[in-house]
Amino acid sequence: MHKIHLSHLGCAKNMVDSEIFLSHFHEMGFEETQEPNDADLILVNTCGFIASAKEQSIDTIFESLEQKNAKVVVAGCLYQRYSNLPDQMPEVHGWLNENSFSGVKSLVEKLGFEKKTPSSSIDQYGRILLEKSSHAYLRISEGCDKSCSFCSIPGFKGKMVSRSIDSLLEEAQKLLDQGIQEINVVSQDTCNYGADIYGPAKGGKHLRTLIEKLCELDVFRIRLLYLYPLWLDQEFYQMIADQDKVCKYIDMPLQHASKDVLRKMKRPGDGERYLKELALIRNIIPGVTVRSTFVSGFPGETEQDHEQLKQFIEDAHLDWMGVFPYFREEGTSSFNMKSHVHHATRKKRAKELTSLWENQFFQKPSRVNEVHTVLIEEVNADYCIARTSFQAPEVDGVVYLPKYNGSVGEVLDVKVTADLDFDLEASPA
């Protein structure tokens, strides 16, 4: 068999594409290798969201081209965003603009690899999982119908295209058959899922239907990510509270609290309405964990706007939080806005917001002696790494289990023995 090395860059949604690509190449006679110098083909699945991601993608492409025995193929957001890349990088052997088996088959034949007869029935969403862990991502749609002025995604991903509920249930079952215990539901516009195929989705009605059907599967837990503020109704939050398999976890990027800034961002609401929404969520879902992210230094953001956001963070008592300095991206409506905030001020304000939240976090009561159910994600020689329901993959803390001889996918109750900054240490209860 020919060997393929995958260089995956970007977010969880892009990871799903990488896993589908691997499945398609496997159908064409390729097996994966972790060593680029052993590969006959190197696939670079790029990210093109912000400047630093674009630079990393370009660097990875040129590093891959140093492997003279391998053909280099580029896919992903960077190419989708900049369709003239083939003219600027003639050294690259092939380009994939979409994730389809027909595209992969055509490319493999074009590059001169020995042809292999694929299976009679190709699974367009078949995946070879990149991580040997107990969680996986279920991407329920692509593209976005929103028009946030700082975001470039709709410009190259297009309007939202939802998967059908039946196809998602089929994919979820295949993930469970591979040993996955936690399904993380993702998309660019999660709350609006199904609006393009099932009709208006205000309140999250189609997403609620999907989650209720996923709960009928033999899955340990389900987590919802990227929820849009002021969109979901009380019935949706009640579903989260009532469904034992759904994590009591709300990931809702609010982006700011100043009404003026939010309007320039083309986002709904303001700090006051967000606090009311959080109060509603916490009232309906006792013990819920809330994560949010914010953009600091958006064009026109005044010192007063910044202070308003700081006050909001103090009042919101978020369990997890991320802050990003504003990035000026071509192709967004904010690119040509006036009154851009100096980059040093953006970073300074972002640091202030992060410090404010961290001070809050470390003033919370210790979790020592608490008992929680965890899912083991990684097994090492002398410890295991696990997560609780209030810890999302990759972005939140983890639980370390020293000297525990567990297995990936194992579920057990543990007693917390130490707070380790954002992580926890525990032993079997």
Q: Tell me whether strands 289-296 and 249-251 are parallel, antiparallel or unpaired.
A: parallel
Task: Return the higher-pLDDT residue of 423 and 114.
Answer: 423
For residues 67-77, average pLDDT: 89
Mean pLDDT in residue range 88-117? 86
Beta-carbon contacts of residue 85 (< 8 Å; ≥ 6 apart): 74, 78, 79, 92, 95
Q: Which residues contact 231 (CB under 8 A, 6 or more apart)?
A: 191, 192, 202, 203, 204
Residue 112 makes CB contacts below 8 A (sequence gap 6+) with none
Q: At 386, phi and psi to the nearest 5?
A: -135, 170
Q: For the ranges 3-12, 303-312, 376-385, which has the lowest average pLDDT? A: 3-12
> Strand locations in 198-332, DSSP E?
221-224, 249-251, 289-296, 320-325
Question: Which of 112-121, 164-173, 260-269, 314-323 is the least confident region?
Answer: 112-121
The string of pLDDT tens digits covering residues 205-237 is 999 999 999 999 999 999 999 999 999 999 999
Residues 139 and 225: beta-carbon distance below 8 Å: no
d(CA 408, CA 27): 27
Domains annotated on the chain, with CATH = 2-110 (3.40.50.12160), 135-362 (3.80.30.20), 371-428 (2.40.50.140)
Token representation of residue 345: 């001020």
Per-residue 3-state assignment (H helix, E strand, C coil) for 363-423: CCCCCCCCEEEEEEEEECCCEEEEECCCCCCCCCCCEEEECCCCCCCCEEEEEEEEEECCE
**Cβ neighbours for 166, distance < 8 A, ≥ 6 positions apart:** none
Residues 186, 12 contacting (CB under 8 angstroms): yes
Buried b (16+ CB within 10 A) or exposed e, 82-120: beebeeebeebbbebeebebebbbebbeeeebeeeeeee
CA distance 125 to 127: 6
Q: Is the predicted pLDDT of residue 120 greater than 70, yes or no?
A: no
First-to-last alpha carbon distance for the chain, in angstroms, is 47
Report the alpha-carbon distance of residue 403 to residue 425 in Å, rounded.
11
- Closest Cα partner for 367 from 397, 394, 392? 397
User: Max Cα separation, the chain?
Assistant: 64
Do the beta carbons of residue 193 and residue 141 sit within 8 Å? yes
CA distance 138 to 268: 27
For range 101-108, the mean pLDDT: 88
Residue carrying structure tokens 């990035």 = 327
Please compute the mean of the pLDDT values over residues 400-408 and round it to a whole number: 93
Q: Helices (DSSP H) in 178-230: which residue ranges? A: 195-198, 205-214
Of 49, 62, 54, 52, the closest CA to residue 89 belongs to 62
CA dist 80 and 76 (Å) reads 6
What is the C-alpha to C-alpha distance for residues 388 and 398, in angstroms, rounded to an integer? 8
Could you read off the pLDDT of 259-274 as tens digits, one per residue?
Answer: 999 999 999 999 999 9
Query: Taking all residues of the chain, what is their mean pLDDT, rounded to a whole number?
Result: 92
Helix (H) or strand (E) holding 59: helix 51-65
